[in-house]
Amino acid sequence: MRIAIAHFGTHYVQMAGGVEKVTCNLANAMVERGHEVTILYRAGLEGTAYFPLDKRVKEVNILFKNHQKIISEKLPGYLRVYREVIRLFSQNRAQGINAVYKGKQYGPAIREYLKENPADVILSCSIPSTKYVIADAKSNIPVVEMIHSHPKVQFPDLSKEEIAAANQCKVMQILLESGLPIAKKYFPSLPIVVIGNPVFPAKKMAHPGDQKDCYKIICVGHISGTKQQLMLAKAFKKLADKYPNWIVERSGTPGNLNQKEMIKWIKSNQLEHRGLLKGRTNHIDDILKKGDIFCLPSRGEGFPLALSEALAAGIPSVGFNDSTGVCDLIHDGVNGFLPNRSVNELAEALERLMANPVLRKKMGQNGIEDMKAYDPDIIYNKWENLLQKVVDENSKVKSNY
């Protein structure tokens, strides 16, 4: 198969995001299985992915031609102002402004590339990308829509233009069964399949039940209000004096205002040596192997990669029971705990694990078993079969004309 991956919804070059990691891993897997893969992206500069990418995978920036930038990735200034005014009244309409005008910018370049480099199937990384391919590039190549966030979080903000385009896909993939009711509500006529993200076996296992001089609560993710790392800091403060040999270690891309707020709070509460901020990491395996508890207090996730990696490494985990994605992977009382969203209940859940090394070890082992359902071979077989089915059905339709 000739597979084109459409990655136009976010920045791409050296972007250390979950979407980019999943995209690179999937591209690598399909190339390894003998397929041709091209990642079409848009960014303000040409370059390569942050994550390892097989040299056989082609990367093409649609905003450039002969290494010269010919298309802007930004809206004109007056439209940006207009969009932000509209956003005060309707997120859907504001998103529609992006969809319409960015489509006019990107569509012709996408159409030109696909005409010169035809694909058998297009795998779209976002609904905006799908809109640019189907409505603006007017491509007749079958499109498979990937949803990286939870439908509960993403779909309510979609514009009518994006919904109309996504309805023309051949099939939509979502990450978790819990997203099916909402996905079917928004796209009742569209075939929808559930394929989770692959969870690779841990290269370095954690040992949360071992006796140590220092124990760690690990939190990995972009420092932001959505990730709610400050709630973890406040919960840990309630336990710090009682458990002097425990620390919290946070790793993730700094989030400007949220990062500053976090640093200010840690200093004001004299926790500088017990509430560490490590910044972005390329070595999550080394971080997780030293972990005893993993905590992700996020408001919501699609398929939380860092959490899945922590569970695969044998670390019992804690998150909130209202957090999409998190409450799908953490099984309360089995591989971790899912308290109600409050600082006090988070502290109680953490203490249950901090005080009990036998429980940490048992729950960690349960997490390893749970993540085997997302073994890469299982996940990539599902993807390959789905893409091949779409290509075969499209060929049959063509042959009937």
Which structural domain range is residue 291 located in?
Answer: 215-374
Of 122-136, 276-290, 373-387, the poorest mean pLDDT is in 276-290
Q: Label residue 170 exposed, middle or buried (CB < 10 Å: 0-12, 13-18, 19+).
A: buried
More confident residue, 108 or 255: 108
Residues 6+ apart with CB under 8 A from 401: none
User: Strand 36-41 and strand 2-7: pairing?
Assistant: parallel
Residues 157 and 240: their CA atoms lie apart, in Å, by: 40
Question: In the chain, how many domains are there?
Answer: 2
DSSP code, position 66: T
pLDDT in tens, 292-325: 999 999 988 889 989 999 999 999 999 999 999 9
Tell me: pLDDT of 365 over 80. yes
The pLDDT confidence band at residue 15, using thresholds 50, 70 and 90, is confident
Residues 170, 394 contacting (CB under 8 angstroms): yes
Helix (H) or strand (E) holding 389: helix 376-399
In a domain? residue 347: yes
Residues 48 and 371: their CA atoms lie apart, in Å, by: 30
Residues 321 and 174 in one domain: no
Phi then psi for residue 115, to 5 deg, are -70, -40
Residues 319 and 343 in one domain: yes
pLDDT, residue 266, reads 80
Helix (H) or strand (E) holding 263: helix 257-268
In a domain? residue 273: yes
Beta bridge mates, 215: 246
Paired tokens of 117: 């480099």
Segment 360-368 shows an average pLDDT of 97
pLDDT in tens, 200-233: 999 999 999 999 999 999 998 777 777 888 899 8
Task: For the chain, give the percent of residues with pLDDT over 90.
Answer: 71
pLDDT in tens, 53-63: 999 999 999 99
Residues 38 and 6: their CA atoms lie apart, in Å, by: 9
In a domain? residue 170: yes
Give every strand in the sheet of 246-251, ordered side by side: 275-277, 246-251, 215-220, 293-296, 317-319, 336-337
Cα-Cα-Cα-Cα dihedral sign, residues 72, 74, 75, 76: negative
CATH code, 244: 3.40.50.2000
pLDDT in tens, 21-46: 999 999 999 999 999 999 999 999 99
Average pLDDT, the chain: 91
Residues 369 and 380 in one domain: no
pTM: 0.87
Helix (H) or strand (E) holding 65: strand 64-65
What string of DSSP letters covers 168-201?
TSSEEEES-GGGHHHHHHH-TTS-EEE-PPP-PP
Residues 343, 238 contacting (CB under 8 angstroms): yes
Tell me: pLDDT of 106 over 70. yes
Residues 6+ apart with CB under 8 A from 65: none
pLDDT, residue 167, reads 96
pLDDT in tens, 151-168: 998 999 999 999 999 999
Interior angle at CA 109, CA 102 and CA 103, nearest 5: 20
Residues 327 and 390 in one domain: no
User: Strand 121-124 and strand 317-319: pairing?
Assistant: unpaired
Residues 302 and 174: their CA atoms lie apart, in Å, by: 9
Task: For the chain, give the percent of residues with pLDDT over 70.
Answer: 95
Helix (H) or strand (E) holding 258: helix 257-268
In a domain? residue 205: no
In a domain? residue 144: yes
In a domain? residue 207: no
Nearest to 107 by CA among 27, 10, 42: 42
Residues 10 and 147 in one domain: yes
pLDDT in tens, 369-381: 999 999 999 999 9
Residue with tokens 């406040």: 234
Tell me: pLDDT of 79 over 90. no
Residues 158 and 276 in one domain: no
Tell me: pLDDT of 77 over 90. no
Residues 260 and 284 in one domain: yes
In a domain? residue 107: yes
Residues 259 and 351 in one domain: yes
Of 168-172, 263-267, 328-332, the poorest mean pLDDT is in 263-267
Residues 6+ apart with CB under 8 A from 299: 226, 227, 228, 323
pLDDT in tens, 248-281: 987 766 555 567 777 788 888 887 788 766 666 6
Residues 191 and 234 in one domain: no
Residue with tokens 């649609």: 62
Residues 196 and 176: their CA atoms lie apart, in Å, by: 6
Q: Where are the beta strands (DSSP E) in 209-287?
A: 215-220, 246-251, 275-277
pLDDT, residue 281, reads 60
In a domain? residue 131: yes
pLDDT, residue 401, reads 60
Residues 52 and 181 in one domain: yes
Residues 237 and 134 in one domain: no
What string of DSSP letters covers 157-171?
G--HHHHHHHTTSSE
Residues 12 and 131 in one domain: yes
pLDDT, residue 262, reads 75
Burial 1-25, CB ≥16 within 10 A → b, else e: bebbbbbbbbebbebebbbbbbbbb
Beta bridge mates, 38: 4, 58
